[in-house]
Amino acid sequence: MTKDQKNEVIEVLKGKFSQYNNFYITDTESLTVEQVSKLRRACFDKNVEMKVAKNTLIKKALESIDAERYNGVFDALNNVTALLFSENPKEPALIISSFRKESNGEKPVLKAAFINGDVYAGDNQLKALTQIKTKNELIGEVIGLLQSPAKRVIAALLHNAETKGEATAEAAPAE
């Protein structure tokens, strides 16, 4: 790889790291070509971008953006590295989990995940990452919580109006 090619890869990676707040660093070392193609297809179907690059180039791209912010992910840059970029913080975790179930394997291994400024290091974090709530899910929960008391008040008012209406209807024929 020439110096110009390396600089081009670094620039592409810098653009991806700047574009996405979430990325996963995975180890795909022992996967076959067919398995990697299947993983890429699964990522494509879920709007997750998968990039494979040399660890030194990834590190240089991250350092040129903000070395302090990404300091926690540098230890994960070893062996064969595939990066998964996504707007949705839990989608890559779901892809990795389902891929493992389908292939009955342990790969790809999650080396680290960078989610909105937080670093999750190690494969043991995968289960927790599959349960992260997205922004839309959290908004839906808040709206549901806010609607619940209002629904109760409206139901009580309607019930009160109905009982008063029944009482008036019962009193009217007696007259």
The full 3-state SS of the chain, as one line of letters, equals CCHHHHHHHHHHHHHHHHHCCEEEEEECCCCCHHHHHHHHHHHHHCCCEEEECCHHHHHHHHHHHHCCCCHHHHHHCCCCEEEEEECCCCHHHHHHHHHHHHHCCCCCEEEEEEECCEEEECHHHHHHHHCCCCHHHHHHHHHHHHHHHHHHHHHHHHHHHHHHHHHHHHHHHHC
pLDDT of residue 169: 58
Name the pTM for this structure: 0.75
pLDDT of residue 98: 92
Which tens digit of pLDDT belongs to each residue from 123-138?
888 888 888 777 777 7
